[in-house]
Structure 1
Amino acid sequence: MFIGLDIGTSSVKAILLDENQNLVGSASEPLTVQRPHPSWSEQDPDSWWTACEAAMDRLAAEVPVAMAAVKGIGLSGHMHGATLLGADDRPLRPCILWNDGRSAKQCAELEVSEPKFLSLGGNRVMPGFTAPKLQWVRENEPDVFAKTAKVLLPKEYVRLKLTGEHAGDMSDSAGTLWLDVAKRDWSEELLAATGLTRDHMPRLVEGSESSGQLRAELCQRWGMTSAPVVAGGGGDNAASACGVGATTPGSAFVSLGTSGVLFVTNDRFSPNVESAVHAFCHAVPDTWHQMGVILSATDSLNWLAQTLGRKASDLTDGLGSVGSASDVLFMPYLGGERTPHNDVAIRAGFYGISHETDDKTLTHAVLDGVAFALKDCMEALAVAGTKVERVTAVGGGSRSTVWLEIIASLLDVVVDVPADGDFGASLGAARLGQAAAQGSTDGIFGAPPMRTSIQPRSDLKQAYADAYGRWRTLYPALKQAGF
C-alpha cells in the first residue's frame, strides 16, 4: 500500500493505492488563503499539517487494514512558497505563496545584481519564486530574516512533521531559483545573492528516493505495522506528470487548474528565459522539464461564474460546441502573467463587448482567452527548441470537452483525456512513494487508460489562428497605453 499526500493551495488531499495502483481510499481537507494587503497571498504553515493529520486520521478510520500495510508515502505540493523556520523548527511568519506579487522590485534588482539566476537558475526572477520573497523579507522584515535557520517549501514542512528531516526534492527545489538546475545541486552563488548559505537549505534527494521514515508516534497513530519510507516527492506539476505518465522525453500534459500549465519532459536542462519559460528538474532522476505557466486558467472561468451568479459548469455546458472563435477577446490576466510576459502588473479585460454580448459570449471569450495564453506558452517552448504534438489533459477544466476542442484546434495537438479518475498530483505522489519503497522506478509511471482523444478540428484551425493574431496585439497596445 502507498499513500500520496498533495498539499494544494485550497486543500490537502490524501489517497491510498494498492500494489497495482488501484484506489483504496481518499480524503481531503480544505485550506484557506489570507490576503492581508493587495498582491499579498499567505498561508499558515501549521494549517497544512493540521489538514494532513485530519486526512490521514480519516483514512486510518475508514480503511484500517490497508493503512496497516502502507510501505511508502509520497509528497507533492504547491511550489515556491517561502516557509521560514527558526532554530526550533517553528514558522517565524506566514508562508508567502506562489501567487504573491509583493517582490517585483526585488526581482528586477536581483536579475541585475546576479545574472547567474538566468543561467544557473535557468529562469527569470519572478515574484512567484522563492528567492525574491526572501530578499523582500531581508529588506522589509530584517528581524525575521535574522532569525531564519531554515527555508522550506510547503511540502517540505509537512515532510519535517512526518519524518523530522529537513529534505527537499529536485523538482520543487528548482523552483526556488537557488538551485543549479543542470547540476541538480544548490548554488552557493545564488544563495549568497539573497544573503543565505547552504546551511539554510534542506538536503536534496531525488523525488523517487527515500528522504526518511515516518516517525514512530505517527505510525502508532495511524495503525501502521512498520515505518513506511517517505519519498522525496515532487512539486505539484512534476508530480502530476508522474501521475499521467509524462516522465519520458517528449511526453507532455496540459493542466487546466486554478493556473494553467503546458508541461513537456526533457532529457536535458533546456531554458528559455527570454520568454519566461520555466526550466526545472523533473521528479525522476536524470530528467528535466519545461513549463509554460499562466496564472489564471479555471480561475478566469470561476471569476466569470461568480460575477454572473452562475456555476462554472453551467456556463460551459450551456455553451455547447463552437463553430468559430469568439468575436469578443478576453485577456486572462486577473493576477498578472508569467509566460511569456513575466508581468505582475498587467490585468485582465474584455475587448469587443456590444449590446448583443451575453453570458454565452463572455464564456466563449474566457475559454478562448485561456487557450490563447496557452498558445503563447506553446510558442515560447518552440523558441526553446521543443515541439509538442500530443498532450494529456488534467485539471478541473479538462472536464469541458468544448474547451479541449478549442485548445486542440488552436495548438494543433491531439489532446488525450484520461478515463474517469484522479490523475493529478496526489496520484503522482503515491507513485513516487511506491518507487521509493521498492527502490526502483521500473513499471511505475505508465500512462493511465484514456477515455478519448480529441483531434484538432479542421473547421476551427484558421478561425482560431486569425483570432490569436488579433488577440496578440492587445498586450503590447495596453502596455504602450500605460496599463
Structure 2
Amino acid sequence: MYYIGVDLGTSSVKLVLMKDNGEITKVVSKEYDLFFPKTGWSEQNPVDWYRQSVAGIKELISDIKNEEVAGISFGGQMHGLVILDSDDEVLRPAILWNDGRTGEECDYLNNVIGREKISRYTANMALTGFTAPKLLWVKKHEPDIFNRIAKIMLPKDYLAYRFTGVHCTDVSDASGMLLFDVEHKCWSDEMIEIVGIQKNQLANIYESYEVVGTLTSTAAEELGLTTEVKVIAGAGDNAAGAIGTGTIEHGMCSVSLGTSGTVFIASDNFAVDENNALHSFAHANGKYHFLGCMLCAASANKWWMEDVLKTKEFAKEQQEIGELGENEVYFLPYLMGERTPHNDPSARGAFVGMSMNTTRGDMTLAVLEGVTYALRDAVEIARSFGVTVERVRLIGGGAKSDLWCKLVANILDVTVEKLACEEGPGYGAAMLAAVGCGAYATVSEAADKLIRVTDTIHQEPALVEKYNKKYEVFRELYPALKPVYRML
C-alpha cells in the first residue's frame, strides 16, 4: 500500500508518496501565491492550498492504482489563522505565521493580561506569529468578520476539512495557537474567554497519528481516489519534520540549518522554560517537545557569501579557514532580530573582536560559529530542565557542509547524525498516515524501521573544551549590545 504525506509550506505544497517499507517513490511540488497587502503583513488564500494539493495528488498517484493508496496525512505551516463562516466558506485570507501585524495584541496579552498567566494557561508567551493575537486583531479591526466566525482553523486542518468534512486539528499544531492547554492537551477555557470566542468555534482535537475520517465522495472524485482512503490528523511542520527524522525518544534532538534554524528536542515529560525562550509544545508521538527558533541560520551564511563577499563558492571559502577553536572573531547572527532565546525584534547582526590580523577566513568561520553558538543557546535551556542532549540529527542546507557538521558536534558537544532521507515534514506526514492505517503499531516503531542514519560525526574532547570557553564569551555579547540595539 501507499501513503501520501502533504507538506503544506508557505510558498508551495510538497507531496510525498511512500510505500509500506518507507521508500519514497515520487515527490510533487505545487506553488501558490503569497500576498503582502501592507508592510509586515503576510496572507494566503486557503482555497489555493486545496486546489494545488488536489492537482499535486492527482499527479502524484498517476502511475499507481487508486485503490493502492491507504491514507493521507499532513505536515503544515503553523500558527496561520483560517476562519470559516456558518456555511464553511473562508471569511478572509489566512493570516500567516510570518505576519507581523499583531504587536499591540501581543503587548496586551504579555503585559496587561500578563506573560505569567498566559504561560500558565498555554505553556508559552504571546508572539506575533501565533494565532490568538491574530484573532484579537480581527476582533478589533474587522469586527463584522469576527462576528461571523463559525470555525477557527489552522492551514493544514483546512485541507483535512476539505478532504473529510471534519473540523479537526492535532495537538502539536494546536500548541502554537496560544489557545491550547499544552500540558493537559485541551482547549484553554481562560484563553477562550480572553480572546472572546466560543469553544464550539474551535476544532476537535486529535493526536497526530489518529484517523479523523475518510475521503468524502466529492473529495475522492476530485483527487481520483476512493472513499476508503483514511485521513490522519497530521502535525505542525516542525513536529512532522521531527517524525521524519526519527526525533522521538526522550532527549533526541534534531537541528535544522535551513534559512532559519530550529532546535527540536523530544521529551517524555511536560515542562516550561520560566522565561518562555523555548516553546513547550505537544509532540506528534503523543508526548511533548521543546522548540527553539532562530530567524537566520543558513541565510546568515548566504548573506555573508553572496551579498558581502560576492561569491557562490561556499565550499572554496570554507577551505580558507584555519584551525578550529582558535578564532578570536565573534559573529552575532541576529540579522532579522531574534526569537530564541532573546525574543528581540530589534537585535541585529554584529562582528566583534576583529584586529589587524583578522582574515577573510576568520570572518567566514565566525559566521558559521555564531549561528552554531546561537543554536546552543536553545540546547542549553533544555539541558537546564535536566534533559540530556547527546545526539543531534542534522538537516537542512547547512548540513551539506562537513565543516558546519563538525562545528555543531563540538560547539553543542553532541554526536551528529546525518540521514538517508531529508524530505522532512512530508515524509513524517506519510509515516503518520502509515501508523494511522495500522501499517505500524506506533510512531516509534515506524521511526525505528524506516529512519536510516548514513553518517556520524563525533565530537573531539579538546575542541569541545575550547568551544566551551568561547561560548561563554558569546553569551556576554548580546547583553552588552542590547542597549545599542535600542538606540539603533
TM-score, normalized by length of structure 1?
0.92
1:257-296 alignment, distance < 5 Å? 257-285=258-286, 287-296=287-296
C-alpha contact 1:394 1:423 (8 A) present in aligned 2: no
The Cα shift of 1:110 comes to 0.9
The Cα shift of 1:473 comes to 2.5
C-alpha contact 2:322 2:361 (8 A) present in aligned 1: no
Distance 2:39 2:475 in 1: 28
The Cα shift of 1:80 comes to 1.0
SS of the aligned residue for 2:437 comes to helix
Structure 1 pair 100–384 and aligned structure 2 pair: CA distance change class (3 A): farther
Structure 1 pair 343–90 and aligned structure 2 pair: CA distance change class (3 A): farther
In the alignment, which residue of structure 2 is the partner of 1:445?
Answer: 447
- Name the Cα RMSD after superposition: 2.4
- The CA deviation string for residues 283-341 of structure 1, in whole angstroms up to 9 with x for no partner, is 122x11111221222232333344248576x3245313652254443222233222111
Q: Which runs of 5+ in 1 are unaligned?
A: none
Structure 1 pair 8–201 and aligned structure 2 pair: CA distance change class (3 A): same
In the alignment, which residue of structure 2 is the partner of 1:106?
Answer: 105
In the alignment, which residue of structure 2 is the partner of 1:350?
Answer: 351
The Cα shift of 1:451 comes to 1.4
Distance 1:75 1:28 in 2: 14
In the alignment, which residue of structure 1 is the partner of 2:214?
Answer: 213
Distance 1:390 1:336 in 2: 28
In the alignment, which residue of structure 1 is the partner of 2:463?
Answer: 460
1:111-122 alignment, distance < 5 Å? 111=110, 112-113=112-113, 115-122=116-123
Q: Which runs of 5+ in 2 are unaligned?
A: none
In the alignment, which residue of structure 2 is the partner of 1:144?
Answer: 145
Distance 2:117 2:380 in 1: 25
C-alpha contact 1:101 1:344 (8 A) present in aligned 2: no
- The CA deviation string for residues 149-188 of structure 1, in whole angstroms up to 9 with x for no partner, is 2221111112122222210000000111111111111111
State whether structure 2 residue 307 is matched by structure 1 residue 307. Answer: yes
The Cα shift of 1:104 comes to 2.6
In the alignment, which residue of structure 1 is the partner of 2:12?
Answer: 11
User: Which amino acid is 2:457 matched to?
Assistant: I
Distance 2:359 2:160 in 1: 48
1:28-427 alignment, distance < 5 Å? 28-61=29-62, 63-65=63-65, 67-111=66-110, 112-113=112-113, 115-285=116-286, 287-308=287-308, 314-316=313-315, 318-320=317-319, 323-324=323-324, 326-352=327-353, 360-419=361-420, 421-427=421-427
C-alpha contact 1:329 1:471 (8 A) present in aligned 2: yes
Aligned length: 478
The Cα shift of 1:348 comes to 2.8
Structure 1 pair 88–335 and aligned structure 2 pair: CA distance change class (3 A): farther
Structure 1 pair 164–198 and aligned structure 2 pair: CA distance change class (3 A): same
Distance 2:45 2:342 in 1: 30
SS of the aligned residue for 1:165 comes to coil
Distance 1:192 1:29 in 2: 39
User: Which amino acid is 2:314 matched to?
Assistant: L
C-alpha contact 2:54 2:222 (8 A) present in aligned 1: no
Distance 1:80 1:449 in 2: 31
- The CA deviation string for residues 370-418 of structure 1, in whole angstroms up to 9 with x for no partner, is 1111011112112223221111112222122211111111010001111
C-alpha contact 1:240 1:425 (8 A) present in aligned 2: yes
The Cα shift of 1:354 comes to 6.8
Distance 1:142 1:153 in 2: 20
C-alpha contact 1:104 1:344 (8 A) present in aligned 2: no
The Cα shift of 1:362 comes to 4.5
User: Which amino acid is 2:203 matched to?
Assistant: P
Structure 1 pair 408–141 and aligned structure 2 pair: CA distance change class (3 A): same
In the alignment, which residue of structure 1 is the partner of 2:434?
Answer: 434
The Cα shift of 1:217 comes to 3.1
What is the aligned-residue identity percentage?
Answer: 37
